[in-house]
Amino acid sequence: MKIDITEHNGAKVFSLSGDIDLYSSPVLRKELIFFIGKKVPLLLVDFRDVSYIDSSGIATLVEGLRGMMSHGGKLKLFGIPERIVEIFAFSKLDKVFDICGSLDDAVED
Amino acid sequence: MPSNPKYLCIVREVTAKVGHIHGIGEDLMEQIKLAVDEACANVIKYAYGGDVHKRIVIRYKVDRGRFEVVIEDSGVKADPEAIMGRRLEDVRPGGLGIHFIKRCFDIFEFDGKKKKGNRLRLVRYLKERNEDRYHGA
């Protein structure tokens, strides 16, 4: 997995690519915790180039969501491939996360 | 495979290839791939307590309408009674992997005869299966 971190209209954008699994999710967790500690108001996670996610990746995002909410921030996901949306839906997390179609949708709300 | 999470990508590749060779559809193979990955990740985390220098043996058998995976380790014995995921409605980190395994495989059983470590047998029937039978209850 690769993480590119950029800014867009005041939001931090995490562009992820590749597989998010037990090996790579600690890297994502570390980055999320760093920005949660900085109390960033909006953190957007770009899933367009994510090919795979397992339970450790999902757990990392749930932890990130909780961390952001703890200081009144928001964490949104966008561009999730259909196959991965299905995993979120099965896990009943599609209603928990704010899932948007595109970066613009995620920023607009 | 060595019990290092960096090799899980290889397990996923091999699992997908085995399915592909036997003509199993891509959607089902995605589920099987995820389930096998989760089962191996559980071995790394729980049976070996994160020790990356142990060994996991994975065997595949596909015949007569079934996809079977046997995963063996020499780590701490699992307590089958204690293995349960969190309620899906209870949103918190962790506890999902077992749901991904059980929604995919029809048989999830530990071989009680194995003296040291665990031998987990997973079987997926490939025909006449009710796709909606498991909802993580």
ipTM for the complex? 0.92
Instruction: Measure B89 CA to nearest chain A CA, in Å.
Output: 7
| Phi, psi of A81, rounded to the nearest 5 degrees | -60, 150
**Mutation to test the B interface, candidates A69, A92, A94, most B Cβ within 10 Å:** A92
Mention every residue, 6+ apart, whose C-beta is less than 8 A from residue A91: A58, B88, B96, B99, B136
Integer-rounded Cα radius of gyration of chain A: 12
Number of domains in chain A: 1
Look up the pTM and report it: 0.92
Among the ranges given (A105-109, B44-48, B82-86, B90-94), the one the predictor scored with the smallest mean pLDDT: B90-94
Structural domain containing residue A43:
2-108
* A51 CB within 8 Å of a chain B CB: no
Contact call for A23 and B5, based on CB within 8 A: yes
Dist CA B3 CA B56 (whole Å):
6
Mean predicted confidence (pLDDT) in B3-9: 98
Contact call for A92 and B91, based on CB within 8 A: yes
Using pLDDT thresholds of 50, 70 and 90, give the confidence band for residue B133: low
Q: What is the pLDDT of residues B87-114, one digit of tens each?
A: 766 766 678 999 999 999 999 999 999 9
Contact call for A23 and B9, based on CB within 8 A: yes
Q: What is the pLDDT of residues A38-65, one digit of tens each?
A: 999 999 999 999 999 999 999 999 999 9
Half-sphere exposure of B90 (CA within 13 A, CB side): 8
Domains and CATH numbers, chain B: 5-125 (3.30.565.10)
Give residues 27 to 46 of A whose Cβ lies within 8 Å of B: none
Query: Chain B contacts of A83, Cβ < 8 Å?
Result: 27, 30
Predicted local confidence at residue B136, as pLDDT: 62
Comparison of pLDDT for B79 and A87, the residue scoring more: A87
The CA angle A67-A101-B97, to the nearest 5 degrees, is 50
Predicted local confidence at residue A104, as pLDDT: 92
Instruction: Measure A91 CA to nearest chain B CA, in Å.
Output: 6
Mean predicted confidence (pLDDT) in A82-108: 94
* Averaged pLDDT of chain B: 90
Tokens matching residue A58: 């999902």
Which residue blocks in chain A are alpha helix, DSSP H? 25-37, 55-70, 82-90, 103-108
Tokens matching residue A59: 């757990």
By the 8 A CB rule, do B16 and B33 touch? yes
**Mutation to test the A interface, candidates B10, B33, B34, most A Cβ within 10 Å:** B34
Predicted local confidence at residue B1, as pLDDT: 96
| Phi, psi of B28, rounded to the nearest 5 degrees | -65, -40
By the 8 A CB rule, do A65 and A75 touch? yes
A19 → chain B, closest CA residue: B9
Contacts within 8 Å (CB) and 24+ apart, A7-13: A8/A44, A8/A103, A8/A107, A9/A107, A10/A41, A10/A42, A11/A40, A11/A41, A11/A42, A11/A43, A11/A44, A11/A106, A11/A107, A12/A40, A12/A42, A12/A43, A12/A44, A13/A44, A13/A45, A13/A46, A13/A103
Predicted local confidence at residue A6, as pLDDT: 97
Using pLDDT thresholds of 50, 70 and 90, give the confidence band for residue A87: very high
Q: Is B44 helix (H, G, I), strand (E, B) or coil?
A: helix
* A90 CB within 8 Å of a chain B CB: yes
By the 8 A CB rule, do A48 and A85 touch? no
Predicted local confidence at residue A82, as pLDDT: 95
Type and span of the H or E element at B33 = helix B26-42
Q: Which residues pair with A64 in a beta bridge?
A: none
* A98 CB within 8 Å of a chain B CB: no
pLDDT at B127 exceeding the cut of 90: no
Q: What is the pLDDT of residues A10-28, one digit of tens each?
A: 899 999 999 999 999 999 9
Complete edge-to-edge strand list for the sheet that includes strand B57-63: B57-63, B66-73, B118-125, B107-110
Q: What is the CATH number of the domain that holds A35?
A: 3.30.750.24
| Phi, psi of B34, rounded to the nearest 5 degrees | -65, -45
A20 → chain B, closest CA residue: B9
B45 → chain A, closest CA residue: A22
Q: What is the pLDDT of residues B37-57, one digit of tens each?
A: 999 999 999 999 999 999 999
Predicted local confidence at residue B129, as pLDDT: 56
pLDDT at B128 exceeding the cut of 70: no
Predicted local confidence at residue B131, as pLDDT: 54
